[in-house]
Structure 1
Amino acid sequence: MLKLFKSIVALLMVLILVGSVVGCTSEPTAQEPVVESEEQTEEITEELVVEDRGYARPESLVSAEELNNMENVIIVDFRDATLPGGYIPGAIKIGRGEQFAEIEGVANMLPDKEIIERLLGGAGISNDDTVVIYDGDNGLWAARLWWTMKVYGHEDVRILEGGSDAWRDAGFRTQMTADSLEATTYTAKEANTTMIADLAMIKESFDNDNLVVLDTRSEGEWNDGRVPGAVWIEWTKALNADGTFKNANELRELYESNGITENKEAIMPHCRAAVRSAHTMFVLTELLGYENVRNYDGSWIEYEKSGEAIEK
C-alpha cells in the first residue's frame, strides 16, 4: 500500500513538472512577436504620417537631408549675391538680376528664351539635368527661377525647402565660395504661355468671375491700391513659422476659403515684380496640383503704369 502511494505521488510530481516546463516555453514565444510587430507598425505609420503632407507633387520639394544624399544633381545658389560664404558644397551661383528683362518700359519681366539659353548654358546646366535651387528667403527667389525654368521647358527643377537655413540647421557643412561648371549648350523650348498672365487677361477679369486676380503682396501694399476685384492672400500665409510649407489640407483651406478653387478658368497671382507671386504659383501647382494658374509677368509695376483703375 505504501509502495502504491509513493508511486502515485511520484507520478503527480512528474506531471506537474512537465506542465510547468511546457507553460514557460510556449506562452512567451506565442505572444512576444505579436507585441513587437504592433510596435513596429505604429512606428512606421507615425513616420509616414509625419513625412506625407498630402502634396500633389512632393518631389518638387527637397529637404536638406535628401539633398545631402542626392547624386547627379545641379545645385543653384540663388541667394543675395552680397552674402559672404554659406554655399552648399558643389553649388553654382546664378545672379538674380540675370533672369530679368525690361520690356516696353516694364522692368523685371521674363526675358526672351535666347537669354535664358545663355544664362543656363553658361552656368553649366543641361536640359536633362536635375536642378535644385535654394535661397535665404524661404524659397521666395528660388520659386522665381523655378517658374522661369518651367516656362522655358526644363523638366526636373526643384526647390530646397527652408533654403540655406535648413541646410545649416541640419548641421551640414558649407563653403566660402561657389563652384563652377563647364559651359554647355542649353536649348530652351518656346515659352509656355499657359503659365503666364498678361495685362489683357487682368482687364478681362473685371467682367469674368472665372478669372481671379490673386494679390500676394503685403497688407500695406494691398491697402495702398489694388486691382479691382482682386483677392488678397500674402505669399507668407502658405508657410509655417519655421519657413516650411503648410500641409496640403491647411493650404487648401487657406485658398478655397477665399475663392481660389480649381474650377476657375484661370488664377492669376501677382505681386510687384512676379517674384512673390511665383512662390504662390509653386504652392498652387506643385503642392496642391492646380492646373489653371498663370503668374502675372508684368505684375504691379506694369498694372500701375497702365492707367487702369486702381481700387482702394
Structure 2
Amino acid sequence: METGDPLVTADWLKQNISAPDIRVVDATYYAPFVKAEKTGREEWAESHIPGAVHFDIDAIKAGGTDLPHMLPDPIMFSSRVRKLGIGDGNRVVVYDNNNFCAAARVWWMLRVMGHNDVTVLDGGLNAWKAEGGELEDMPPVAVERHFTARVRSDLVKDTAQVAAASESRSHGIVDARPAGRFTGEAPEPREGLASGHIPGSMSAPSSGLINPDGTLKSVSELKGLLPDHDAPIITTCGSGVTAAILALGYARLGNWDVAVYDGSWTEWASDPSRPVATGAA
C-alpha cells in the first residue's frame, strides 16, 4: 500500500541523486495545440538534470489507435523503459519543465505497470535550478535493466467503465480541463470536438492545483480544491495527461487509488452517441 508524499523536493534530490538506485526521468511534454517553440525532447537535449533520460509520452504509447498517447500494453512498456535504464529496484524521480505536464502522467504510467517506487520532483526543473542543481546537455548512457510489469488495472478506466460510473454514480468523475471547456462556454483545442463534460462529473482545473512557482499546493489547500477526497475517483481531462495531475493531488491527500480515464474527453466526445452535459456541474 502506497503511503507518504508522492513528491520530493529539489533539496532531497540533490542529496540523493548519486545513490545507485536512483533514476531521474525528464518527462517534459507540450501538446501540439500549444505550439511551443521546442518539443520536450529538444528542451531535454539542451539542458537536463544530470543522468536524466527523456520519457516521451508520444513515443511510449499504444499503437493502432488515433487517440493520443494511450497507455501501451505491458510488453511494449517494459521494453521501452528497460532501454531507458529503468527497472526493478529503482527509485524513480520524474520531473518536467511544464507544470507537471507530463511528469504526473509518467508517474501514473509507472504505477499502472506496478512500479510503486516513483515520485515527482516538486516544482520540476525550475525548482532544481533554484536549488543550485547542476545541469548537463549530454545524453546519459542508460544501462538496460529488467522491468517486471504487474499491471494495476484499477488505476486506468476505459469508456465503458466511465459511462457506467456516470450512470450509477459509483465513482466521482473529476475533470481537469479549464472551467470554460467543462461548461461548454469555451471551445476544445482539438478540431471537431464539442466542449462540455461527462454527465455527473465535477470540475477541478489542474492549473488551480499549482502554485505560481510551479510547485503543487499544500495538503490543506488541495483539500479545498479536490472534491470527495476519500471516495472512489476517476479523473479525466482532454487526453489523459492533466488528469494525472489530479491523481497526483489526490495521492498527496492519501487517496492513492484514483483512476485515470485514459482516452478522456478526446475519446468521449468523438462519439456523437455519448451524452454531453454543459453548464456547471
* TM-score tier (shorter): 0.7 to 0.9
- Structure 2 gaps, min length 5: 29-39, 185-194
Which residue number in structure 1 is paired with residue 13 of structure 2?
A: 67
Question: For the residues of structure 1 that align with 2:78 and 2:98, how far apart are their CA atoms?
Answer: 26
8 A contact 2:239–2:265 mirrored in 1: yes
Which residue number in structure 2 is paired with residue 4 of structure 1?
A: none
More helix by share: 1
Out of 76, 90, 104, the position equivalent to 2:25 is 76
8 A contact 1:128–1:155 mirrored in 2: no
Matched, 1:254 2:225: yes
Identity of aligned residues (%): 28
Which residue number in structure 2 is paired with residue 159 of structure 1?
A: 120
Q: Over residues 196-217 of structure 1, what are the superposed CA-to-partner deviations in whole Å (9 max), with x where a residue is unaligned?
A: 1221222123332332211101
Out of 196, 202, 219, the position equivalent to 1:231 is 202
Q: Over residues 81-134 of structure 1, what are the superposed CA-to-partner deviations in whole Å (9 max), with x where a residue is unaligned?
A: 121522111222222322222455433211000111111111111211011111
Which residue number in structure 2 is paired with residue 210 of structure 1?
A: 170
Task: Describe the SS at the equivalent of 2:102.
Answer: helix
Kindly state the Cα deviation for residue 301 of structure 1 after the two structures are TM-superposed.
1.4
Kindly state the Cα deviation for residue 311 of structure 1 after the two structures are TM-superposed.
1.4
Matched, 1:271 2:237: yes
Opposite residue 100 of structure 1, the aligned amino acid is K
Question: For the residues of structure 1 that align with 2:51 and 2:169, how far apart are their CA atoms?
Answer: 48
Structure 1 length as normaliser, TM-score? 0.75
Matched, 1:301 2:271: no
8 A contact 1:76–1:131 mirrored in 2: yes
Residues 1:261 and 1:103: Cα distance change in structure 2 (over 3 Å): farther
Task: Describe the SS at the equivalent of 2:41.
Answer: coil
RMSD over aligned CA atoms reads 1.7
Kindly state the Cα deviation for residue 178 of structure 1 after the two structures are TM-superposed.
2.5
Question: For the residues of structure 2 that align with 1:76 and 1:255, how far apart are their CA atoms?
Answer: 27
How many residue pairs get aligned? The number is 249
Which residue number in structure 2 is paired with residue 289 of structure 1?
A: 254
Alignment of 1:101-180 (within 5 A): 101-102=62-63, 104-180=65-141
Question: For the residues of structure 2 that align with 1:227 and 1:187, how far apart are their CA atoms?
Answer: 35
Opposite residue 173 of structure 2, the aligned amino acid is V
8 A contact 2:166–2:201 mirrored in 1: no
Question: For the residues of structure 2 that align with 1:282 and 1:99, how far apart are their CA atoms?
Answer: 20
- Structure 1 gaps, min length 5: 1-55
Question: For the residues of structure 2 that align with 1:134 and 1:291, how far apart are their CA atoms?
Answer: 19
Question: For the residues of structure 1 that align with 2:68 and 2:173, how far apart are their CA atoms?
Answer: 20
Residues 1:220 and 1:177: Cα distance change in structure 2 (over 3 Å): farther
Alignment of 1:53-64 (within 5 A): 57-58=4-5, 60-64=6-10
Kindly state the Cα deviation for residue 182 of structure 1 after the two structures are TM-superposed.
1.7
Which residue number in structure 2 is paired with residue 92 of structure 1?
A: 53
Question: For the residues of structure 2 that align with 1:106 and 1:203, how far apart are their CA atoms?
Answer: 18
Task: Describe the SS at the equivalent of 2:51.
Answer: coil
Task: Describe the SS at the equivalent of 1:107.
Answer: coil
Task: Describe the SS at the equivalent of 1:254.
Answer: coil
